[in-house]
Structure 1
Amino acid sequence: MTTSYDCTAAEQRAAGLEHAQRAIREHKCVVFPTDTVYGIAADAFSPVAVTLLLASKGRSRKMPPPVLIPRLNALDGLATDVPAEARRLAEAFWPGGLTLILHAQPSLDWDLGETRGTVALRIPADDVAQDLLTITGPLAVSSANRTGQPAAQTAAEAEAQLAESVEVYLEDGHRPLEGSEALPSTIIDATATPLRVVRQGAISLERLREVVPGLLDVDGNTAPEADTEVPDRDTAGSGEPAGTA
């Protein structure tokens, strides 16, 4: 049975987080706010739960969800061969609207879809999201909408699309603030060097290049002032997880 909680009220927020934790443990889906838009989440280590998440969105395994984590020290537990430049970006922009595509730890027992050995990681800058991730651990998360439809900016909008495929809806008002443009996270492919933006979003290229000057844009170009030769890249091992929250 689907239940919605008003997280602007302390008692409902506590009850909603407890119910959401239980739902995740039972391999069900929940909807909650992030700093970009609302997300639909499932246990990242449960193939059954991830399959339900993809089915709820009407998405195939060819579009695997990214994983939201509660803190920076979870990075090395889920990813391997993390470039120093990617680590600097994480330290500068997490929590926040930055998703990093990295090589997944090969020892992990999970199945997010056809990831080709990669995982997309992010820490959201949202109190409700942080509280949920702290009690559940890493979650597979995608924007809370049916594929091809607008991303939900409230839990009510998400419920109108996802209905009873979700066990718990955590409502906490508009994300982002009402009247603001709903920008997805900026996605960077950090599986090869130089690092490259594969989707522009909440964090501008200019801000990113303040930390990593040699970062390539979505067209594979360096900053105008850079004259370093850019090597050819093999991008077969990475891809944009579309519809990320």
Structure 2
Amino acid sequence: MKNTLISKDWNKAKEYLKNNKIIIAPTDTLYGILGNALNKTVVEYIYQIKKRKPEKPYIILIPDTEFLSIFGISPSKEEKKVLEKTGITVVIDLPSKYKEKFHYLHRGQKSLAFRIPAKRKLLNLLKDLKKPLVAPSANPEGEPPAKNIQEAINYFGNKVDLYIDEGEIKNKNPSTIIKFVEGKPIVLRKGNISISHINHILQIK
């Protein structure tokens, strides 16, 4: 049986993630299940414990747009600007030669969704780790997201190695997801940031 730890220490989160452990911690919008996106075994384990449909990819958290090069992606100036300034999730197509390597992440969609988190502790964690993280919400498929650590523990128990407790997260919308088509942002999922704010950032009238 796993020894699961509850902590408020983000340094402990870094230690666990460096060792390819699975943690639950606050993200910008909800409690999320965090794991090393470059480790296929970790990613598949998160699919297993979430009981997530295998064709549905996860959002990937990165510390800055330089990390897109890991996936062979050179972002457009619009994609770069939105990622760096808004905490929004941007879907970007993978180059052909990277599609097979990262099939376990894109799940046949041939694109990946990226976000640079606005939450300072999470962003600092990513910078220290120097690894991208998958970060789905902390709930099994079809169940409401955990609003606090006790709800997360009720869902996952000792299937997760570490829980970072920052109290209740109340009624936050999930992140907005967009994709750029011919330089224009198209909303794929409405969320915490409006299209008008995105257009303002891009200075589109």
Q: TM-score range by the shorter chain?
A: 0.7 to 0.9
| Pair member with larger Rg | 1
Question: What SS class does the counterpart of residue 136 from structure 2 fall into?
Answer: strand
Which of 17, 25, 29 in structure 2 is aligned with 1:32?
Answer: 25
Question: What SS class does the counterpart of residue 107 from structure 2 fall into?
Answer: coil
Query: How many angstroms apart in 2 are the aligned matches of 1:150 and 1:58?
Result: 13
The aligned counterpart of 1:134 is 127
1:146-165 matches, within 5 Å, as 146-165=140-159
The aligned counterpart of 1:3 is 5
Paired amino acid for 2:189 = R
The aligned counterpart of 1:71 is 64
How far apart are 1:59 and its partner, in Å?
Answer: 0.6
- Is residue 204 from structure 1 mapped to residue 194 from structure 2 by the alignment? yes
Question: What SS class does the counterpart of residue 190 from structure 1 fall into?
Answer: strand
Query: How many angstroms apart in 1 are the aligned matches of 2:189 and 2:72?
Result: 20
**What are the Cα deviations for residues 174-228 of structure 1, in whole angstroms up to 9, with x where unaligned?**
33xx4xx3100000023665431100100012111223466xxxxxxxxxxx8xx
Which of 33, 42, 51 in structure 1 is aligned with 2:44?
Answer: 51
Query: How many angstroms apart in 2 are the aligned matches of 1:58 and 1:21?
Result: 25
Higher helix share: 2
- Structure 1 residues 43 and 208, CA gap change in structure 2 (3 angstroms): same
Question: What SS class does the counterpart of residue 49 from structure 1 fall into?
Answer: helix
Query: How many angstroms apart in 1 are the aligned matches of 2:84 and 2:17?
Result: 28
Paired amino acid for 1:84 = K
- Is residue 102 from structure 1 mapped to residue 92 from structure 2 by the alignment? yes
Query: How many angstroms apart in 2 are the aligned matches of 1:127 and 1:141?
Result: 16
- Is residue 189 from structure 1 mapped to residue 146 from structure 2 by the alignment? no
1:28, 1:52 within 8 Å by CA — same for their partners in 2?
A: no
Gaps of 5+ in 1: 8-12, 215-225, 227-245
Query: How many angstroms apart in 1 are the aligned matches of 2:47 and 2:4?
Result: 18
Query: How many angstroms apart in 2 are the aligned matches of 1:79 and 1:174?
Result: 38
Query: How many angstroms apart in 2 are the aligned matches of 1:192 and 1:53?
Result: 34
* TM-score (norm: length of structure 2): 0.85
Which of 55, 58, 73 in structure 2 is aligned with 1:62?
Answer: 55
* TM-score (norm: length of structure 1): 0.72
- What CA RMSD, in Å, does the superposition of the two structures yield over aligned residues? 2.4
Paired amino acid for 1:195 = P
Question: What SS class does the counterpart of residue 195 from structure 1 fall into?
Answer: strand
The aligned counterpart of 2:118 is 125
The aligned counterpart of 1:42 is 35
Query: How many angstroms apart in 1 are the aligned matches of 2:70 and 2:33?
Result: 23
Query: How many angstroms apart in 2 are the aligned matches of 1:200 and 1:213?
Result: 20
Count of residue pairs brought into register by the alignment: 199
Identity, in percent, stands at 27
Question: What SS class does the counterpart of residue 174 from structure 2 fall into?
Answer: coil
- Is residue 84 from structure 1 mapped to residue 80 from structure 2 by the alignment? no
- Structure 1 residues 204 and 68, CA gap change in structure 2 (3 angstroms): same
Query: How many angstroms apart in 2 are the aligned matches of 1:33 and 1:191?
Result: 31
Question: What SS class does the counterpart of residue 135 from structure 2 fall into?
Answer: strand
